[in-house]
Amino acid sequence: MEKKEQLYEGKAKKVFATDDPNLVIVDYKDDATAFNGLKKGSIAGKGVINNVMSNHMFQLLEKQGVPTHFVEQLSERETLVKKVSIVPLEVIIRNISAGSFAKRFGVEEGIVFDEPTIEFSYKNDDLGDPLMNAYHAVALKAATREEIETIKSMAFKVNEVMKQYFDSLNVILVDFKLEFGKTADGKIVLADEISPDTCRLWDKTTKEKLDKDRFRRDLGGVEEAYQEIMKRVMGK
Ligand code: C5P
């Protein structure tokens, strides 16, 4: 597979064309941003961890019947994925109160919900990814009603698989963000990444944060937290 021109550079990844029009290569960087790019930094080794962990999660989810963009890992930082058009929605599932939920509703972090919540935000950096509901998404043609139903059921399925998986690693899956893409033939697949950048992961015993909140909140031990998650996920 030949790596061709760069198509896109995001905050954490670059995307390159290949000689196959239906496939692209994702290249994970160590760059880290938070608060819509206001806080910038770097987390040594993050690109490798996020690449390897995302691929592990995508393969686990595929086995459980969730279609994803994953094709093949090419190197420590590079993965071949299906070319998709990203649905401009950030889909957030929460099992426990934290982050913007705790802030918005004035509650403490750590309240365990009776059932998971789902929310969407509109993927738009200039607007700061505003919260949106399904009607807004349809009005803005971000997705059709049917696509939103598909995305919702896929997202809850991902939560069930991941919650159980992380529990087996002595990790609590607090919340996470997913992105979905549409392939050339119109099929919705899980895309982007699943990593400590996009999930809140707390150690089940100590409740220690093992995710990007260590970077966002200047808690220290950022690299160590990413390495700890990698160790538990990959067994090394
Ligand atoms: O900040 P907030 O509480 O809304 O984040 C919910 C979850 O979504 C967290 O796990 C966070 O890491 C993830 N997220 C993300 N990218 C964003 C916003 C949130 O990965 N742009």
Cα 1 to middle of ligand 1, angstroms: 33
199 lines ligand 1 (CB under 6 A): yes
171-180 pLDDT tens trace = 999 999 999 9
- Is 129's pLDDT higher than 70? yes
Band (pLDDT 50/70/90 cuts) for residue 4 is very high
Render pLDDT for 84-123 as a digit per residue (tens, 0 to 9).
999 999 999 999 999 999 999 999 999 999 999 999 999 9
Cβ–ligand 1 contact at 212 (below 6 Å):
yes
pLDDT tens-digit profile of 19-30?
999 999 999 999
43-60 per-position pLDDT tens digit: 999 999 999 999 999 999
> 52-84, pLDDT tens digit by residue?
999 999 999 999 999 999 999 999 999 999 999
Assess whether the C-beta atom of 91 lies below 6 angstroms from ligand 1. no
Any long-range contacts for 118-121 (C-beta under 8 Å, 24+ apart)?
118/91, 118/92, 118/93, 118/152, 118/155, 118/156, 119/91, 119/92, 119/94, 120/89, 120/90, 120/91, 120/92, 121/89, 121/90, 121/92
121 lines ligand 1 (CB under 6 A): no
Whether 100 is in the pocket of ligand 1, judged by its Cβ within 6 Å, is yes
Domains and CATH numbers, the chain: 3-82 (3.30.200.20), 85-220 (3.30.470.20)
Q: How far is the CA of 236 from the centre of ligand 1 (A)?
A: 27
Q: Give the per-residue pLDDT at 43.
A: 98
177 lines ligand 1 (CB under 6 A): yes
Under the banding of pLDDT at 50, 70 and 90, the label for residue 236 is: low
CA of 76 to the centre of ligand 1 (A): 25
Average pLDDT (196-205) is 98
Percent of residues, the chain, with pLDDT higher than 70: 100
The atom number, within ligand 1, closest to the CA of 213 reads 12
Average pLDDT, the chain: 97
Instruction: Determine contact, residues 154/188, Cβ cutoff 8 Å.
Output: yes
